[in-house]
Amino acid sequence: MFVGVAYAAEEGGSAISVVPVLSEIWPSIIAFVILFLLLKKFAFGPISNTLDKRAATIKESLEKAEETKVEAERMLEEYKAQMAEARGEAGKVIEQGRKVAESMKAEIVAQANKDAESIVAKAHEAMETEKKAAIAELQASVADLSVAVAGKLIGEKLSADEHARLIEKYVAEVGSLNDN
């Protein structure tokens, strides 16, 4: 039962079979079935697992990356807020410091002014006292000098009482002159 396109080669007898040859059927079945069983167990199974595992890993990594990104963004926001707060705080501290410094400056200046004034006043006072002392001394020496001069001029003819009266009168005159 050979159906084929026999090629009419005189001595050949070769043919292209278009009907399956029995000796090709069973080896094909056996080869395919064995190949299928071996590949399924030792190749496609592991490959399939690897593909699934990789897909899961990639998915997980992407999710983790997304989570990390969100966390990073949250932290950045937090830091920014903290930064702003710190900046505000620092501003406040500086402002406060400035105020304190200013008030201290005012205080110091005021104190200095007061001190200066008191020093000036004391100086005035001292000067006044000195002046008075000087005048008193001057008056005394003028009186003595006058007495001596007068004594010399009138030849000790004045009594002690007259002498004293004359001096006082003179001093009063000098004093009133000095007051002017």
Partner 1 sequence: MDQFGDKLASKLHHYSVLPWNDVYGSVEAAEAFVLTNYIFFLIISFVVTLGFMLLAARKLDMVPSGIGNVAEAGYEFIRNMCNEAMGKEGQKYAPFIATLFFFILFSNLIGLIPGALPGTGTIGVTATLAVMVFVLYNFIGFKKHGFIGYLKSFVPSGIREMGWGGKLTLGVFVFVLEVVGHFLRPLTLAVRLFANMFAGGMILGIFGIFVVIGVAQLSAGGFAIAGLSTVMLLIMYAFKLFVGFIQAYVFALLTSVYIGGALHADEH
Place of tokens 């710190």: 86
Q: Out of 27, 153, 156, 180, which residue is the one contacting partner 1 (CB under 8 A)?
A: 27
Q: Out of 19, 153, 160, 177, which residue is the one contacting partner 1 (CB under 8 A)?
A: 19
* Part in contact with partner 1 (CB under 8 A); list of ranges 33-41, 64-72, 78-86, 147-155: 33-41
Phi-psi region of 147 (alpha: psi -120 to 50; beta: other; left: phi over 0): alpha
Q: Please report whether residue 9 would count as binding partner 1 according to CB under 8 A.
A: yes
Question: What are the CA-CA distances from residue 27 to residues 15, 34, 35, 113, 163 (Å)?
Answer: 21, 10, 12, 123, 174
DSSP assigned state of 159: -
Task: Identify which of residues 32 and 79 has a Cβ nearer to partner 1 in the complex.
Answer: 32
Q: Please report whether residue 145 would count as binding partner 1 according to CB under 8 A.
A: no
Q: Please report whether residue 47 would count as binding partner 1 according to CB under 8 A.
A: yes
DSSP assigned state of 59: H
Q: Please report whether residue 53 would count as binding partner 1 according to CB under 8 A.
A: yes
CB of 39 to partner 1, least distance (A): 5
The residues pairing with 17 across neighbouring beta strands, listed in sequence order, are 4
Q: Please report whether residue 59 would count as binding partner 1 according to CB under 8 A.
A: no
Q: Please report whether residue 48 would count as binding partner 1 according to CB under 8 A.
A: yes
Q: Please report whether residue 21 would count as binding partner 1 according to CB under 8 A.
A: yes
Q: In the chain, where do the E strands start and end?
A: 4-6, 15-17
Q: Which residues contact 166 (CB under 8 A, 6 or more apart)?
A: 150, 158
Q: Which residues bind partner 1 (CB under 8 A)?
A: 1-3, 7, 9, 12-29, 31-32, 34-36, 38-40, 42-48, 50-51, 53-54, 57
